[in-house]
Structure 1
Amino acid sequence: MNEDINCRLIEYEAIKPHAGAIPPSSKSKRKNKTSSSSFKHPNKEQKMQPAILRDPDATNKLLEAILEAPNGKRMVSRLARTCRAFCEPALNVLWRDLDSLVPILWQFPGHLLKKARKPGMGFVKTPSEEDWNSVLKYSERVRQISYNERSNAVSASVFAVLEESRPRSYFLPHLEELNWKVETPAGLARCALFLNPELRAVNLEIGSRLPQLDSFLSDLSNRTKLTSFSFVSPTSLPDSFTDIISRQLTLEKVVLVAPGALAPGVGRWVASLPRLKNLRLDLTGRSVIAVEGFFDELHLQSGDSTPSSVTSTDSGVFSGDEDDDVDFSLIRKSALHLTGNLRSKGSFAQMRKLHLTGDVSNIAVFIKHITTPLTQLELVIEDPPDRADWHDLSSMICEKFGESLQTLRVTATSASRFIDLVRSTNRAEPPSGRLSMEHLTYLPCLTRLEIDLPESVIFTEEDVRYIAKACPNVEILKLCPLAGFPAGAGAPQITLDDIAHLVRSCKNLHTLATVIDANGKNTDILTSRGVSSKSLLRLHVGHSWLDDPLQVAILMSHIAPHLETLKWFQEKNRPGFIEANARSWQKVSELLPHLQGVRQLERQFALATAVVIPVETAEKSIDATTKTVDRGVHVYPRMRNNSAQVSATLVSQVVQTQSNYTSTGVYATPSTVDVAVEAIKTLVSQEVDAVPELVTESVEATPSNIIIKSVQALLTPSTFSRAHSNDPFPFFIIPSILNLFSLAYRLFIFYPLSLPSQILHIAAARIRSKQAESKQASPIAPPPEPTTTATTDSDIPLDTLVVEVRD
C-alpha cells in the first residue's frame, strides 16, 4: 500500500506543472490576470475556496475520516494528485504516520538503489547532496515512524549509508513519535539516527537482553525531552533504569511491561512525575506482596500523615477520648470541595488514565492504593476471573471513581484468547462463563463501557438492568459482540425487551454492540412511546439469533427510528457462524430504512393533526417601582495576637577519635660466617747479571751559532708534544721545571727506598751461594740449581738512562 502511494506521489510531482486543460497562451493570460487582481483583493482567492478548505482543522478531520475508510490511503493519494487545493493537506495526512522507512527510500533516484521496486534492499552508490532534495521535501511532513527488525523490509546497510550521506543532522526534523521493535544490539543502535530534539514519544519493544541498553537509555534521556515513554520487553529492567530516566520530568504517559516494573524504586519514580496522566503496568504472574511493594516507598512522601493535610484523619488535638475529637480535616475537605480548590498532595496527583494487565486480585490490590480521580480505566484480565475477586473489584471501582470515571474497558489477556482460539478449532462447546454486573452501583459520569472477553460472554436481563441503572449517561456500550452461540449451546439471554429497557433508561446511548435473541414476539414494545430512542445510531448484533425478519424490522424501526448503521457477522469462516441468522439480518437491513421512513411520516402526521388547546390569557398590571433603603453597617475587624515560643533543641555530642597504632619489631641482625683463608705469598728469587756497558761519547757543547736546545729526559711523547703547543709561557721553561721535579723524586723518595732492598738482595744471594757450595761437597747432594741473574724487584741504575738531545 505504501509503495503504491509513493509511486503515485512521484507521478503527481511529475505531472504537476502540466495539470489542467488550459492552453499555454490562455493560461499565461489568466495567470497575469490573477496576479494583477490579487493585488487589489488579497482575500479573493480564499473566499472562492469551499468552506471545508477555509478551516484547516475541518480539512484535516475530513481527510482523516477518508483515510480510515477501506482503501483510504489510495483515495487520499488520488485526491492529492487531482486537486491543487487538497494537495498540501492530503500530503500532510499521507506522510504524517509511516509504518516503515520504505516510503522515504522511494524518493531517492532509481539508479542509486539495488532494485528500484524494492528500495529496502540497499544502495549501489552513496547518494550525493542533490539526491536528497526530494527526500528532504517529504521528510518534513513525517510525524511518526515505525521500525520492526523482524520484517526485514529495510537492509542494515541502508542505515549506514543514510548516516554517512545525510546533508543535515536530522533528516526527519519534525519527528514526534518513534516506534522501535528490535532484538539485536545493532538494531537498537540504529535508533540513534532518529533521536532529534523535537521527539516527544518513544515506544521501545526489545525482544532479548541487550548489554548496551543502559548506554542507549542514557543517550536517549540526554538528547530528548519526552512526554510519552513505553518499554516492553520479556527481560527485566536495567538496574539503573530510574537513575537514567529520572531526567525526564515532562513525562505524561509511562508504559512499563517488563519484569522489575513493580520495584519500589520504580514506584517512587513514577509517583514523583509531576505531569503523569497515563500509566500502564503489567501485573501478570506477580504476587500480591510484589504489587504491594510498588507503593512501599510512597507513604513517607505522600504528605497524608501530617495534621495539616486535608486528606489526613488526624485532628491535631491530643485527647484521651477519641470519640469526642472533632475531625477538622473533613470540614476543610468539604470547604475545598465547595470552592473547587481541593488539590491532592499525594502521589499520582495528575494521573487520569490507568491501564492494568493481570489477575483480578492483583488489579484490586493496585487500585486500592490509587486515590486520584481517574477518568479512564482499562483492565486486561485473566478470563474467566474469580467471582469473589470480580465482585470486590467492581465495588471498589464504583466506590473510588464513581464521580469521575468516564471510560471503562475490560478485555482478556493474550493467553486467554489463545485458549479460546484452540477451543474453536477443535469444535468444542462454546464458553459458558458469566460476568455479573450486580456490583456496579453508581457510575453517573461513565460514557463508555466495553467488555470483550472470550470466556465470560453470557449477560442476562438482570445485568442489562444493572447497567441501565448504574450508568444512565452511557453513550457507547459493548457487551462481548464477538461471542458465538451455536444452536446446540443455547440462545443468547438478552432480548429486544432488554434493549428497549436500556434505551429508555440511557437517553444518550448512540452505539450498542451485543448479541441478542430476537426470536420472541415482543408486541408490548410498540405500545410504549418511551422506548423510542432519538440517539441510537449504530447497532452491532454479531451472531444474534433471528427467525422473523419483518417483525424484527418493525420493532427496530420503533426502538431506533434514526438508526444509521446495522452490522452483523457475515463471514462463514468465523467460529459460531449460522447462515440462517445471517440471511435474516440481511433482510432486516433491507426493510429497516423503508419502515423508518414510514415511521417518520406517521409521527409528522400525528403532530400535524394534533388538537391544539388554546390557552386562556388575562391582562394584569403590576406596579414595579423599585424601593431603595439606605443602611449603614459599622464594620471593624477583630484582631487576635497569638504568640508561639519556639526554641531549638540542641544536642551536644562528643566523639572521641583515637588512632590505633601497632608496634612491630623485626629482628634484622645479618648472618655472618667466619672463613679462614691461608694466604702465603710465593717468593721467587732470581739473579740477573745487569752490568751495563759503558759507552763514552764526547759531545762538543760549544754552539757555533746562537741555538737554543732543550734536553728531554724521561718524558713521554705526549708531554713533549704539549711542550711545542701554543702556550702563554716560553717552551724552554717547561723542561727545566720537569727536571727539577725528577731530581727531587730520586733524592727524597726513590733512592731511600731502593738502596736497602738492593742490600738485602745481595746478602741473600751470598747466603744461597754458600749453601750451594756445601751441597756440592756432599756425595748425595742434589744437582745445583741454575743461577738467576737478577731479582724481579731490581732497580735500574741512573747511569743507564738514555739521554736524547734534540735541537
Structure 2
Amino acid sequence: MAPLILRDPNVTQKILEAIVDTPGGKRTLSRLARTCRAILEPALNVLWRDLDSFVPVIGLFPPTLLKKARKPGLGLSRAPAKEDWEKIMSYGMRVRSVTFNETANSVSPAIFPMLQNLPREYILPNLQQLTWKVETAGALDHCSMFLSPMVESLQFELGPTRFPTLNRILSDACNRLKLVNFSLVSPVSLPDTFTVMLSSQKTLQKVTLVAPGALSSGVGRWVAFLPELKSLQLDLSARTLTAIEGFFDELPSHTGDSTPSSVATTDSGVFSGEEVDFSSIRGKPTIRTKDRDSKAGFSTLHHVHLTGDVANIAVFLRHFSIPLTQLDLVIEDPPDNAEWLELSYIISERFGSSLQSWRISATATSKFTELIRSTSRAEPTISRLALEHLQPLPALRRLEIDLPESIHFISDDIETLAHACPNLEELKLCPLARFPVQSGPPKLLLEELSPLTEHCRNLNTISVPVNARRASPSVLDSAAVSSKSLRRLHVGHSWINDSLHVTILLSHLAPHLDSLKWFHDKNRPGFVETHARGWEKASETLPHIQNIRISERRTALAAVPIPVVELTPPPQKVDTTDKGIMAVASFVHQAVMAKPHTTDSGIQIRGPKMVHESVQVHPRLVSVSIDSVPRITEVGVSAIVSASDKSVGAVPETVTTFVDATPPNVSKSVQAMSSGRSGSISYYMLHPIFNLVSLTWRFFFAYPMSIPIRMLHVIFGHMPTIRRPSGFGPSSVNSISMNDIQVRG
C-alpha cells in the first residue's frame, strides 16, 4: 500500500511546496523527483510552477540548437524545427507564473521572434501570472505572445522612457483576458484612455497603480465602483493635498451630497504636477480638526497599501469608513510626531473594530539615506515611534513595524500595546535594527515584555531587540506574566550581560518557548561577538531550565492540599405545630415612563447599475453543392431476328434395284436411271436385298451426315458477317436424288 503522501494529493502538494521554500529547496526537490517515480509528476509541477526568468524554458531546446549550451539566454544558432519543440510544449504546460526582467540581461531579445514559430498558439498555455519589467518599447511588445486566456494577474514595471505601444497592449490584454490582479508601476503618466480600456474588467480584485495620474478623479471613480475589488495600492509620495482630495471628487458622500473639491480646478489629476503646491501653507491643526465626509464606494475593499508622507496618508484614510482588515503603510522615516499621532487616532477610530493586520515599513528613500549614514563616520540618528497614544484595536492579530531610524521603544509603548491589542498573535518591532556600541543599548528591557505575556494570551511570536539584564523580583514572583502561548522569540542584535539570569527570566516568561533566534552572522553589519556568544549560551541552557521550571510547577500543583469538608450529622426530629398566619400583601402603584430615543437616519440606495450587453451570434454557413445527376449513355442494340422460311423434303426416295448375288464372272455396269425402265431378271431377284442395304445405309450413314450439314447451313445463313465456308452454300444443301446415283459394276 502506498504511503499517505502518495494517497492524498493535497498533502503531497503542501509538503512539496514547503520543501521548495526552504534554503536550497529547488535542488532538494529536483533530487527527490529523480529518486521516486511516484513523486515525479507532483515534484515537477512545483518546480516549474513559478519561474523568475525564461532561461529554464529556453534551456529545453536541444544543445546543438543553442549558441552556448551552458548559457541558453544567449539565443539560438538557427530556427528550431518541429521536433525541437517537444520538451518545451511538455514542460510549458506546468508553468503558472513567470517574470521577465530586461535589466537582468539574462535573455537575449533576439530569441523572442524565434519563439513565435511555436507549433501551437501559446508557449505557456496555462500561465496565470505574468510580470513584465522592461526599459524599452521593443521589449514591451514581446509580452503579447504570452497573454494566453488563462492569465489572471498582469503586472507591468516600466522604465522612464515613453512607450507608444502601451495603449495597444493594454487594449489587447483587456479584450482577451479577465484579470483578477492588475499592476502598473511607471514614472510616466497614465494613458488618457486608461479607465476606458479597463472599464470592461469587472472581475478585478487587486489594483496597484504607482504612476502620475493615478490620483485623478476618473481613476478614483473607476476604482471605487469595481464590484469585486479587495486590495488597493497607491503611491502618495510627492503629491499635494489637492491631488489627494481630487481622487474623491467624483464620488458621492454617504450623506447623499457630493463633496466639492478642496480647490476649484478642472484638472483631472493626470497632470497634477502642474498644480500649485499647498504643502507650505498646510497647517497641522487644520488637518486634525477638519473632518471629511466618508465617500461612497469601495464596498468590498479589505486591504489598502499606501506609500508616502504620514500627513498624506492621514488625509487619504479620512475618506474611508469601510471595515478594513489589512493596512500596509510605507512611510517616510522618521515621521513628524504630530502627524503620526493623528494617523494613529484615525486608524483606531475608523478601523479599530475590524483591522486585523497592520504593517509599517520605510520607503526606499529612507532606507537609502540610512544606508549612506551607516557607512559614513557620522553618528547614527536614532528616533522613536511613539505607541503610548494608541487607541484600542481589539481585532488586531498582527503588528509589524520595520523602520531604519525609528527603532527605539520603551516600556510605556509595550504597556499601551498590551492593553490596546489583547488578541495580538504576532508582534515585530524593528527586528533588523542595529545598536552599535557608540549609540548605546536598546531602551527596552527584556523583563518589560511581561505586559505582553500577561495580557495577550494568544501571542505566539515576538521579534524585537532588547537589553537583556537580570530580572527584578517582582517579575519573577508573578505567575500571571508566564505565557503558555509564546513559542518563538527573535531578539536580533539584542544586548546581553548575564546569560544564566537571562535564561532564568526567559523560562519564567515563556516556559514553552521552542525557538530562540538572534543574529550570529559575523559578516552582518552591527554584529557584536560578545552578545552573540551570550545568546548562544542562553539558547543552550534554556531547555534544561524550562524542564526544571515545568516540573516545579507540576509539583507545586500536586502539593496543594485539598480542602476537607466535614459532614455534619443529620438534625434530630423536632415536634412541629401547624399555625395559620394571614398575610396581606401591600401594593404600591408606580409608573415608569419609557421614552425610546429615536434617530432618523436616511440611507441612499442607488439603483443597481444596469449593463445591457448583446451578443450577436452568426453561425458560419458553408454552401456546398454536389452534382448527383447520373451519367447516362444511350447505346442502341439491333435485335432484329433475321428469319427465312425454308422447306426440307424429308420424304425418302425409294429405288427398286435387283442385284444378282451370284458372283459375276464378267464385269458389267449397272446404271440406275430415273426413267423407271425394267431391269433384268437378276435385278428383280436381288431387289429385296438391295432395299435392305439401302435402308441400312440411310439410317446409319446418310441421315446422321445430312442432318448436321443442314443445321450448319441454317446457322451460317443468319450470320452475314461470318464468311461462309465453301461448300455450305444454298445449292450444296439440296437433297440428291437417289435416282441420279450411278452404280457401276
- Shared fold, TM over 0.5: yes
Match of 2:331 among 381, 386, 407: 381
Counterparts of 2:431 and 2:473, CA distance in 1: 26
2:159 matches 1:209: no
Equivalent position of 1:232 in the other structure: 185
Percent identity of equivalent pairs: 56
Equivalent position of 1:468 in the other structure: 418
Equivalent position of 2:449 in the other structure: 499
2:345 matches 1:395: yes
Contact 2:295–2:319 (CA under 8 A) maintained in structure 1? no
Q: Please list every run of 5 or more consecutive structure 1 residues that lacks an aligned counterpart in the other structure.
A: 1-47, 308-343, 619-807
Q: Provide Cα deviations, 1:706-731, integer angstroms capped at 9, x if missing partner.
A: xxxxxxxxxxxxxxxxxxxxxxxxxx
605-614 or 248-257, which deviates more: 605-614
Counterparts of 1:266 and 1:183, CA distance in 2: 25
Counterparts of 2:327 and 2:9, CA distance in 1: 33
Deviation at 1:141, TM superposition (A): 1.1
Contact 1:409–1:451 (CA under 8 A) maintained in structure 2? yes
Counterparts of 2:9 and 2:224, CA distance in 1: 39
Deviation at 1:617, TM superposition (A): 10
Counterparts of 2:549 and 2:391, CA distance in 1: 37
Match of 2:296 among 346, 352, 355: 346
Deviation at 1:502, TM superposition (A): 1.2
102-111 or 228-237, which deviates more: 102-111
Contact 2:314–2:342 (CA under 8 A) maintained in structure 1? yes
2:222 matches 1:262: no
> What secondary structure sits across from 2:15 in the alignment?
helix
> What secondary structure sits across from 1:488 in the alignment?
coil
> What secondary structure sits across from 2:148 in the alignment?
coil
Counterparts of 2:235 and 2:144, CA distance in 1: 27
Counterparts of 1:515 and 1:257, CA distance in 2: 34
Match of 1:518 among 440, 451, 468: 468
Counterparts of 2:466 and 2:123, CA distance in 1: 54
Deviation at 1:593, TM superposition (A): 1.7
Letter matched to residue 493 of structure 1 = K
Contact 1:424–1:575 (CA under 8 A) maintained in structure 2? no
Deviation at 1:521, TM superposition (A): 3.7
Counterparts of 1:353 and 1:571, CA distance in 2: 36
How many residues of Structure 1 are paired with residues of Structure 2 in the alignment? 532
Deviation at 1:616, TM superposition (A): 8.7
Deviation at 1:533, TM superposition (A): 1.2
Equivalent position of 2:313 in the other structure: 363
Equivalent position of 2:704 in the other structure: none
Q: Provide Cα deviations, 1:230-272, integer angstroms capped at 9, x if missing partner.
A: 0001111111111111111110000000111101111111112
Counterparts of 1:607 and 1:101, CA distance in 2: 63
Equivalent position of 1:305 in the other structure: 256
Match of 1:532 among 471, 482, 493: 482
Deviation at 1:201, TM superposition (A): 0.2
Counterparts of 1:426 and 1:617, CA distance in 2: 82
Letter matched to residue 416 of structure 1 = S
Is the helix fraction higher in 1 or 2? 1
Match of 2:142 among 190, 199, 206: 190
Counterparts of 1:296 and 1:615, CA distance in 2: 75
**Against the structure 1 CA distance between its residues 257 and 490, is the aligned structure 2 distance closer, same or farther, given a 3 Å change threshold?**
same
Match of 1:433 among 368, 380, 383: 383
Counterparts of 2:337 and 2:522, CA distance in 1: 34
Q: Provide Cα deviations, 1:54-112, integer angstroms capped at 9, x if missing partner.
A: 33222222222211111111111111111223222211111110001111112221111
Deviation at 1:49, TM superposition (A): 2.3
Equivalent position of 2:263 in the other structure: none
Deviation at 1:306, TM superposition (A): 7.6
**Against the structure 1 CA distance between its residues 56 and 607, is the aligned structure 2 distance closer, same or farther, given a 3 Å change threshold?**
farther
Q: Provide Cα deviations, 1:382-436, integer angstroms capped at 9, x if missing partner.
A: 1111111111100000000011000000111000011100010013323221111
Deviation at 1:475, TM superposition (A): 0.7
Contact 1:202–1:226 (CA under 8 A) maintained in structure 2? yes
Match of 1:97 among 21, 38, 50: 50
Counterparts of 2:378 and 2:512, CA distance in 1: 40
**Against the structure 1 CA distance between its residues 609 and 284, is the aligned structure 2 distance closer, same or farther, given a 3 Å change threshold?**
same
> What secondary structure sits across from 1:411 in the alignment?
strand
Counterparts of 1:615 and 1:65, CA distance in 2: 57
Match of 2:101 among 143, 148, 155: 148
Letter matched to residue 100 of structure 2 = Y
Match of 2:359 among 406, 409, 412: 409
Contact 2:151–2:177 (CA under 8 A) maintained in structure 1? yes
Counterparts of 2:225 and 2:189, CA distance in 1: 22
Counterparts of 1:154 and 1:241, CA distance in 2: 30
**Against the structure 1 CA distance between its residues 616 and 292, is the aligned structure 2 distance closer, same or farther, given a 3 Å change threshold?**
farther
Match of 2:525 among 575, 585, 588: 575
Counterparts of 1:214 and 1:403, CA distance in 2: 42
**Against the structure 1 CA distance between its residues 54 and 345, is the aligned structure 2 distance closer, same or farther, given a 3 Å change threshold?**
farther
Counterparts of 1:176 and 1:486, CA distance in 2: 46
Equivalent position of 1:560 in the other structure: 510
Contact 1:113–1:124 (CA under 8 A) maintained in structure 2? yes
Q: Provide Cα deviations, 1:727-750, integer angstroms capped at 9, x if missing partner.
A: xxxxxxxxxxxxxxxxxxxxxxxx
Counterparts of 1:414 and 1:406, CA distance in 2: 26
Counterparts of 1:203 and 1:614, CA distance in 2: 73
> What secondary structure sits across from 2:467 in the alignment?
coil
Equivalent position of 1:177 in the other structure: 129
Deviation at 1:130, TM superposition (A): 2.1
Counterparts of 1:427 and 1:595, CA distance in 2: 43
Contact 2:129–2:154 (CA under 8 A) maintained in structure 1? yes
Equivalent position of 1:479 in the other structure: 429
Contact 1:120–1:155 (CA under 8 A) maintained in structure 2? yes
Contact 2:101–2:134 (CA under 8 A) maintained in structure 1? yes
Match of 1:442 among 388, 392, 413: 392
Contact 1:431–1:457 (CA under 8 A) maintained in structure 2? no
Contact 1:532–1:560 (CA under 8 A) maintained in structure 2? yes
Contact 2:471–2:505 (CA under 8 A) maintained in structure 1? no
> What secondary structure sits across from 2:495 in the alignment?
coil
Counterparts of 1:441 and 1:259, CA distance in 2: 35
Contact 1:304–1:346 (CA under 8 A) maintained in structure 2? no
Counterparts of 1:472 and 1:210, CA distance in 2: 51
Match of 1:130 among 72, 79, 83: 83
Contact 1:97–1:143 (CA under 8 A) maintained in structure 2? yes
Contact 1:430–1:484 (CA under 8 A) maintained in structure 2? no
Counterparts of 1:476 and 1:451, CA distance in 2: 11
Contact 2:153–2:182 (CA under 8 A) maintained in structure 1? yes
Match of 2:238 among 258, 278, 285: 285
> What secondary structure sits across from 2:116 in the alignment?
helix
Q: Provide Cα deviations, 1:639-658, integer angstroms capped at 9, x if missing partner.
A: xxxxxxxxxxxxxxxxxxxx
> What secondary structure sits across from 1:140 in the alignment?
helix
Counterparts of 2:29 and 2:399, CA distance in 1: 33
- 5 Å-filtered alignment, 1:755-770, equals none
Equivalent position of 1:550 in the other structure: 500
Q: Provide Cα deviations, 1:592-621, integer angstroms capped at 9, x if missing partner.
A: 122222223333334444444578999xxx
Q: Please list every run of 5 or more consecutive structure 2 residues that lacks an aligned counterpart in the other structure.
A: 259-293, 569-745
> What secondary structure sits across from 2:103 in the alignment?
helix
Q: Provide Cα deviations, 1:131-162, integer angstroms capped at 9, x if missing partner.
A: 22211221111110000011111111211111
Contact 1:431–1:454 (CA under 8 A) maintained in structure 2? no
Equivalent position of 1:802 in the other structure: none
Counterparts of 2:254 and 2:501, CA distance in 1: 63
Deviation at 1:468, TM superposition (A): 0.4
2:3 matches 1:53: no
> What secondary structure sits across from 2:209 in the alignment?
strand
Counterparts of 2:548 and 2:91, CA distance in 1: 53
50-59 or 235-244, which deviates more: 50-59
Q: Provide Cα deviations, 1:315-336, integer angstroms capped at 9, x if missing partner.
A: xxxxxxxxxxxxxxxxxxxxxx
TM-score by length of 1: 0.64
> What secondary structure sits across from 1:487 in the alignment?
coil
